[in-house]
Structure 1
Amino acid sequence: MSDHPYSGANTRRNIFAFLVGKVPTAILTATILAMLARNLSATEFGRYVVCMAMLDVTLGFSTIGLDWVILRYAPVYRLHSTRARLLGLILRVALVRVFVLAAVGALIFALATFFPAAAGKLPVDLVWYFCVLMVAEGATRMLRDNALEALSLQSRLQIIMIGKSLILIATLGYMGTQGGGTAQWMLIAETAASCICLVLALAFMLTGLKSMEQPDPAWVPPTFSQMRQVALFNYSSGIVEYLFSTSFLMLVLGRFLAPATVAGAGFVVRLIEMIRNYLPGMLVFSLVRSRMIGNYVRDRNFDDLRTWARFLFKISLLTLLPVCGIAAVYGREILEVASAHRYGGYGVLFAALTFWLALRLHRLILGVVFNAADMMRLWAKASALSLLVLPPLLLIGPARLDIWFLPAVLISGEVVANVLALRIMRGTGREWETGWDWIIRSFLALGAGVAAAAFLPRQGLAWLVAGMAVLTVVYCIGALLLRVIDRTDQQLINRSSGRTLFKGV
């Protein structure tokens, strides 16, 4: 290869493939959500939401840090080792993952069969389908999401994601012709899609690694002890993150609230997750993450790592804020349209969770910095201390807080985790500027956009689209006038794009 897989040129190629793939994937994901709301009854949709929330929680708690072993060391092996040793590392980790998932699945199935109460809100009639899906989806995510991302093979990853969405849409379309669907059929479709994606991910990984640079004879591979340390520290912090995840909190709500209420909150959560996954900052995040780790491993330059992390957060927040404004002004109308007038009453919850995304994005970026700089122990400490917010909120009670238990836990947990992580980082002598000046200017620009949209009517889809457009345009003009994007950002944009988009910087 003419340049290493984490170079600027290769990263730009991956970004192009990523964005080209994400456009149809975003449309397909929105289509799936709308079809779920239309083709499943509130009860069946609520059962499906509980199963998918349980899936995410179970997969998260059973990772034992294996995902971060791939994310942290696959770039290192690709830069310094041979194809055989790289594939050996990935396949060994994947096999351990499958073994753990099979054991967890057997335990869940046994508990549901002999002690149904132990299964919690997981529907007993769906346990078998859930366990099979859990093993298939866990193995798929290890190869598709972790290995292909870490190996900088984004075009192949996007092909797989589009294929999975098409399978689910075909299933929902068939359900529509039969007068409606069930949670059971959706779990079967999810399992079939995961198995197909697993085969594709393995094939794409093998073909994508045909050409690798010559191995570095002076390179010493990481020891098992080092990998175990990365796995365990990230697993401990990951457990905390899953305790603050929307999936886990939806399971908690499911034990206290009516199924119809859980279905409405679940619809909002799925929409929020979709927004998070398709924000421009998050679109680039999975690409830049592997490059940040790969470049720091090569150069050991913390200043450069910190600069890219802060730039990534700024881009993420600037693209998120107009979404927050739109949710605040038009949240009810958006949910009415998206859910066929079923869940419009959750507009305020929708708006609150969009603002939570800003804190969540900052925490994700900090996690990459701590891992790249080999500060996993400190990251685990900050994450563990954020659990202090849970006891008082659980004491108040999810039943008393109703659906507001969800944003209360999410926002307070992220605030504590971010503050503690920054204090710990500064305690090591590494400086980190939060950038309150440009954040305040960004919110001033958002306020101008919200004020402009507030004067427009809200009746009809045309006015809804017009209002969102006005809010976004006024916000962008305000951000430009207030110079939120400074000279350093312009230089980084030039470096990222490989072109002189901003002259004189």
Structure 2
Amino acid sequence: MNALPYSGAALKVSAVHFFIGKGASGLLNLGILLWLVRLLPVAEYGVYVSLQAGMLLALAVTSLGLPWMAARYLPEFRLYASGKQLTRFVWQVVALICLFAVAGALLLFVAMPWLLEILNFTQQTDVARLYLLVLVIEGLRLNLQECILEPLLQQGQTQFSQVVRNLILLLCLGIVANQGTVHLNHVVLAELAGSFLGAAVALRGMHRYLCAHRKLSGKDGWQPPNWSEMWRTMRHMYISLIVTLTYSPSALIFLVQRFLGVEITALFGFLLNLYGQICRYLPAFLLFGLIRPKLMASYVGEGGMAQLAYNANFMGKISLFVLMPILVFVWLSGGELLSLLSGGKFTQSGYYLGGLLLTLIPFSQRQILETVAVACGQSHLCFWGSVLGALILPPVYLLLEAGHSLWIPILAIIASQILFNATLTVAMGFTTTYRPDVVGNFKLIAAALVGFILGFFVKMTWTGRLFLQGANSFDEFLQNFKKIFSMLLTQQIAVPIHGLLGLVIIAAFALGLFLLASLLFNPFRVDERLSLNRLVKRKIL
């Protein structure tokens, strides 16, 4: 077996390309997010958020399980197939991607008047139809990255495509903003230009890779799996995806728009965009394009379930280790952070952001559990996990219809992720030898809770001196205490230092408290610390 494509050396080279490109694309993504929320009026930003959500839903529906199929079988083709077999399989996947995306866009074009009438967006018909081109082109680019380049560990090409797309988008927005007011149709045209050039870069990278490996000899006696076998393997993941889409954040955006209005939709969309930015830089998500092919290859090769379980638990704990101080920071200063990032458009909503980020605790483990289930042939468990998660949808609909606040969709996301993870964890405990590191994960969550309590105590101590020192009677004390409690509920308690400098100080404070608590709880085992130190060639744990 030719293990070189997924060796440790190959993984490190791909990781270097990945981090360089991810840093650049991440800064560009953040710049686009913060600039758009300032350029567009709140109503148009709410429509834009809805269009983005619709595109994500459409791409997921038209994927028909191709991303998971490519993630499972493309590493096997790269390890065992000849160059001709590899090229044929890759171009077949690309052809299916294009066919499904175009078919989905045509169906949406026909159904567009009915859909826009439901959402009260009939005045945005022209923009919505133009966005169908973005759906096709951006869908091609994203699928080339996820289905082809990432499983082949071509992270340099993946990130270059993303950087080109973001640079062109920013350049177009800058030109329009320099000439006058920016409207939604300008943003859609800018996205279309960026996606087109980004897709061209991804196609070029894929073609060059296939040309460089056209002389692969392949392994004697290996026969490629037929398409019916691959579809049977992936059908559970696709059905699971379709069920999950009914209560996904993208679907909840449309419920919020229908029952709470376009301005609340703009707030929820901005919160989800921030959530997405943080999510993309968690190790479990950030390294997914690197780790998933490695996990699949190790299981298909000689590592088996033992190595798969070890790597999965290790990555899950690293992801939580990065996430926990972010949660502490946001819960201590979310209101001021949100106001600063939105340019003052969204204030006193910090606890919404903190609650939404809590969903990242189960979500950071979900992708890992899905990968383990697919690798060991238990993908049908993902379907049952999705079905149980869908139980939250009826009460969400009824509560939003009754006029309840934005907390309803946030709590629904948390509950659905927990139900999915619990289903897979319990079921795989009976059907496989995989066991999650419950103790290690609990220690990380406990360290974050201790860090938050300590930070909250410091914040309350300072606030208490400010508001309670002037109380000369029990009635005055009680009035001031009620004032403090009311400000806590609306995230209005200020910190001694305001603005960006104050947020940096709080972030450093939150990180220090969490690291101190982690040192006491010691969530990583000795072999995990040694593995990470060897990987980065530094003693960091």
**Same fold at TM > 0.5:** yes
Q: How is 1:287-298 mapped onto 2 (pairs within 5 angstroms)? A: 287-298=290-301
Instruction: For 1:341, give the aligned amino acid.
Output: G
TM-score by length of 2: 0.88
Instruction: For 1:144, give the aligned amino acid.
Output: Q
- 2:375 matched to 1:372? yes
Match of 1:306 in 2: 309
Match of 1:459 in 2: 498
Which deviates further from its counterpart, 155-164 or 242-251?
Answer: 242-251
Match of 1:148 in 2: 149
Distance 1:434 1:396, change over 3 A: farther
Identity rate of aligned residues, in percent? 27
Paired residues of 1:332 and 1:344 also in contact (CA < 8 A): yes
Match of 1:193 in 2: 194
Once the 2 structures are TM-superposed, how far is the Cα of residue 346 of structure 1 from its aligned partner?
A: 2.1
Match of 2:519 in 1: 480
Which deviates further from its counterpart, 169-178 or 434-443?
Answer: 434-443
Report the number of matched residues. 502
Distance 1:447 1:502, change over 3 A: closer
- 2:531 matched to 1:501? no
- 2:529 matched to 1:490? yes
Match of 2:478 in 1: none
Paired residues of 2:298 and 2:307 also in contact (CA < 8 A): no
Match of 2:62 in 1: 62
Paired residues of 2:75 and 2:297 also in contact (CA < 8 A): yes
1:244 to 232, 244, 247: 247
Q: Distance in 2 between matches of 1:115 and 1:457?
A: 49
Which deviates further from its counterpart, 392-401 or 344-353?
Answer: 392-401
Q: Distance in 1 between matches of 2:115 and 2:275?
A: 34
SS in 1 for 2:160: helix
Q: Distance in 1 between matches of 2:235 and 2:371?
A: 16
Instruction: For 1:489, give the aligned amino acid.
Output: E
Once the 2 structures are TM-superposed, how far is the Cα of residue 457 of structure 1 from its aligned partner?
A: 1.9
Match of 2:102 in 1: 102
- 2:472 matched to 1:471? no
Once the 2 structures are TM-superposed, how far is the Cα of residue 113 of structure 1 from its aligned partner?
A: 4.7
Q: Distance in 2 between matches of 1:132 and 1:61?
A: 17
Q: Which digits, 9 at most, give the CA deviation of each residue in 1:448-473, with x for residues without a partner?
A: 35524635624232222111111112
Q: Distance in 2 between matches of 1:250 and 1:50?
A: 7
Q: Distance in 2 between matches of 1:381 and 1:186?
A: 39
Q: Which digits, 9 at most, give the CA deviation of each residue in 1:254-292, with x for residues without a partner?
A: 111221111111111101101100223422222111110
Q: Mark the structure with the bigger radius of gyration.
A: 2
2:280 to 268, 274, 277: 277
Q: Distance in 1 between matches of 2:249 and 2:269?
A: 9
Which deviates further from its counterpart, 250-259 or 94-103?
Answer: 94-103
Q: Distance in 2 between matches of 1:399 and 1:58?
A: 28
Q: Distance in 2 between matches of 1:495 and 1:156?
A: 27
Report the RMSD for the aligned CA atoms in angstroms.
2.2
Once the 2 structures are TM-superposed, how far is the Cα of residue 313 of structure 1 from its aligned partner?
A: 0.5
Distance 1:266 1:115, change over 3 A: closer
Distance 1:476 1:60, change over 3 A: same
Which deviates further from its counterpart, 431-440 or 383-392?
Answer: 431-440
Paired residues of 2:284 and 2:367 also in contact (CA < 8 A): no
Q: Distance in 2 between matches of 1:230 and 1:401?
A: 41
Q: Distance in 2 between matches of 1:339 and 1:115?
A: 29
Q: Which digits, 9 at most, give the CA deviation of each residue in 1:403-430, with x for residues without a partner?
A: 1222121011011111111111012142
Q: Distance in 1 between matches of 2:217 and 2:95?
A: 27
SS in 2 for 1:130: helix
Match of 1:21 in 2: 21
Instruction: For 2:409, give the aligned amino acid.
Output: L
Distance 1:327 1:227, change over 3 A: same
Q: Distance in 1 between matches of 2:70 and 2:328?
A: 37
Instruction: For 2:407, give the aligned amino acid.
Output: W
Which deviates further from its counterpart, 442-451 or 319-328?
Answer: 442-451
